[in-house]
Amino acid sequence: MCYAFPIISRAKATMATNIRRREIIAALGSVAAWPFAARAQQKMPTIGLIGGGTASSQAEWTAAFVRRLGELGRVEGQNVAVEYRWLGGDFNQTPAIVDELVRRKVDVIVTHSTPNVQAAMQVTSVIPIVFASAGDPVGNGIVTSLARPGGNVTGLSVVSSELASKLVELLRELMPNLRRLAILYHVGNQVTALQTQEVKAAAAKFGFELAIAEIHSAEDIAPTIEALRGRTDALIVPSTPLYNVNRVQINSVALRAHLPTIFFDRVYVESGGLMSYGPNWPSLWRRAAELVDNVLRGTKPADIPVERPTTFEFVVNRKTAGALGLKLPQIVLVRADELID
């Protein structure tokens, strides 16, 4: 009997040692899990994207943006969230939408078009703002300079006012007998104001008459273009989300009025417009995604230079030219980067 006690004591000691070992291992496992638990509780970076048009009208640009984010390791829904807001061409909504995104504490706001950028700047001077495109950001007071933007804003500059002169030249090559031009001026839009002034200067240089057709809302588009029938030889349509959203209507009405059209964006030509000359817009949105990635990594917008597009594309719709009874000159065919049938 007396010999059994030491054996039982050793068994209990062994059992206690094993229990302590398991407790230590469990404790170490819990400690090792702490970083993972902390990471799981971290807020996913959120991008507030404000589109001046509609989801469908800007689908190609948005897809390019999201795809590039993914290539950079930021996959929507997995490690980055995107809050989409669409204006449908109505910039009066911008301040309220930006205010909402600020209250939702997004990490960066992405937008385009000068009025949107300016409205966002008025609401927040803290949250970084990246613009995929803006006309003359220095002249419009968006940034201090292209090299050193200053403040909380950076992006890509599309000096569309300079492109306007090129559009006039291309119309002149297409129509050697061109004498009268018209431009759709979206009243209150600073970019179209700049483009209109540049077109006016180019028209004067070539001795063309210029009719400035004012547009206040989408309801003005059809009757204004119809009223140009017989009063002008060609129509220039500037860059604005209002026109982008209504591009199918613009093209159909212009075709009925027998008006050759030229745009700053190929999406108009893809939907029936005659010609376009301008930067590759999806590539601008891809680059915007790279700027957003830099911002999310901690780079201040003030330290990211504003960039300008380096390549431009001239696109012509041969089917529309045929419907208008236009024979495309050889110089136009040679210059075109793409011909759409």
**Which residues have a Cβ under 8 Å from the Cβ of 97 and sit 6 or more positions away?**
50, 85, 87
Highest mean pLDDT among 6-20, 23-37, 130-144, 155-169: 130-144
pLDDT digits (tens, 9 = 90+) for 210-243: 999 999 999 999 999 999 999 999 999 998 889 9
Q: Of the ranges 152-161, 195-204, 245-254, 292-301, which one carries the lowest mean pLDDT score?
A: 152-161
Burial class (CB in 10 A: 0-12, 13-18, 19+), 146: middle
Spell out the domains of the chain, with CATH numbers in brackets. Answer: 46-159+281-303 (3.40.50.2300), 160-280+312-340 (3.40.50.2300)
Q: Could you tell me the pLDDT band of residue 146, with boundaries at 50, 70 and 90?
A: very high
- 195 vs 337: which has the higher pLDDT: 337
Burial class (CB in 10 A: 0-12, 13-18, 19+), 112: buried
Query: Hey, what long-range contacts does 116-120 have (CB within 8 A, 24 or more apart)?
Result: 116/50, 116/52, 116/87, 116/91, 117/142, 117/153, 117/155, 118/142, 119/91, 119/94, 119/95, 120/50, 120/94
What's the confidence (pLDDT) of residue 10?
44
What's the confidence (pLDDT) of residue 310?
80
The CA distance from 229 to 236, in Å, is 14
pLDDT digits (tens, 9 = 90+) for 260-284: 999 999 999 999 999 999 999 999 9
What's the confidence (pLDDT) of residue 317?
98
Mean pLDDT of 125-153: 92
Q: Could you tell me the pLDDT band of residue 190, with boundaries at 50, 70 and 90?
A: confident
Provide the β-strand partners of residue 111: 131
Indicate if the pLDDT at residue 5 is higher than 70.
Answer: no
- 226 vs 5: which has the higher pLDDT: 226
pTM surpassing 0.75?
yes
Mean per-residue pLDDT over the chain, rounded: 87
3-state secondary structure the chain: CCCHHHHHHHHHHHHHHHHHHHHHHHHHHHHHHHHHHHHHHCCCCEEEEEECCCCCCCHHHHHHHHHHHHHCCCCECCCEEEEEEECCCCHHHHHHHHHHHHHCCCCEEEECCHHHHHHHHHHCCCCCEEEEEECCCCCCCCCCCCCCCCCCEEEEECCHHHHHHHHHHHHHHHCCCCCEEEEEEECCCHHHHHHHHHHHHHHHHHCCEEEEEEECCHHHHHHHHHHCCCCCCEEEECCCHHHHHCHHHHHHHHHHCCCCEEECCHHHHHCCCCEEEEECHHHHHHHHHHHHHHHHCCCCHHHCCCECCCCEEEEEEHHHHHHCCCCCCHHHHHHCCEEEC
Short-list 211, 146, 219, CA closest to 184: 211
Q: Could you tell me the pLDDT band of residue 36, with boundaries at 50, 70 and 90?
A: very low
Q: Of the ranges 6-10, 124-128, 195-199, 275-279, which one carries the lowest mean pLDDT score?
A: 6-10
Tell me the two tokens of residue 156: 């890509």
Indicate if the pLDDT at residue 27 is higher than 70.
Answer: no
Q: Could you tell me the pLDDT band of residue 286, with boundaries at 50, 70 and 90?
A: very high
